[in-house]
Amino acid sequence: MLTADEFAGLFRKIKKSVKNSSAPVIDLIAASEGSPYTILTATILSARTKDEVTARAAERLFRIAPTLRALSKLSSSEIEQLIYPVGFYRVKSRALKKLPEVIDKLYNGKIPDTIDGLLTLPGVGRKTANLTVSRAFKKPGICVDIHVHRIMNRIGYVRTRNPFETETALRAKLPRRYWSDVNTVFVMFGQKICRPVSPHCVTCPAAGLCGKHGLDSLS
């Protein structure tokens, strides 16, 4: 297994390798003084969707519905038209339609700032909850998507079978100073270099560790 010192050195190299890459769309929204509403909603939209598609859909939606109250006045079909063609747009439109009512009923109209609270909302899974907690409320959260899960296993830092197991393992092992950055860095790294298919191993700063741990073929 990858040691703490090995991980620290590798993380610095990985972060340096993606310094010129475009940040994930949720980070860009958060950096532009995004509200808990916009960050939560955009994160829901982003599931199984390319960043550029998410960005355009979020812009259209927030132009018409910049707040939860405004969102509540839209029908599911109106939301659907605004967010198309994000992945699973029909499912997401129904979830977004329910969102204001559930937040009003359970949390007096205020978006919850805990992972457990966020998980009670329609359309919210662990990835969305962790990302919203860390970006909207500046609280510790480990957002584990397919990139984080794949890369953490490839470099031998964890041995897990799915993203939930990876999140659990990282909460127990990964120092908190990395929690906020790991998703941003590994998403960019996973899109640019450590791809699921045909990774760029020749230029990868983690290539030696993958060989060391026998994980070159993991996808």
> Is the pLDDT higher at 185 or at 156?
185
- Residue showing tokens 């329910």: 98
Write out pLDDT tens, residues 114-169.
Answer: 999 999 999 999 999 999 999 999 999 999 999 999 999 999 899 999 999 999 99
pLDDT given for residue 218 in this prediction: 41
Q: Which top CATH class is 4-18+142-213?
A: mainly alpha
Amino acid at the residue 51:
D
Fold equal for 4-18+142-213 and 25-136: no
- CB atoms closer than 10 angstroms to residue 76: 15
Q: Which two tokens stand for residue 194?
A: 């450590």
* CATH code given to domain 25-136: 1.10.340.30
Contact 117, 127 (CB under 8 A): no
Q: Residue 215 pLDDT more than 60?
A: no
pTM as predicted: 0.89
CA-based nearest residue to 176, from 146, 206, 142, 143: 142
Contact 141, 115 (CB under 8 A): yes
Residue ranges of domains in the chain? 4-18+142-213, 25-136
pLDDT cut 90: percent of the chain above it: 83
Pairwise CA distance, residues 128 & 113, whole Å: 12
What ranges in the chain are assigned the alpha helix state H? 4-17, 25-31, 36-46, 51-64, 68-72, 76-83, 89-107, 115-118, 126-136, 146-154, 163-173, 179-192, 207-213
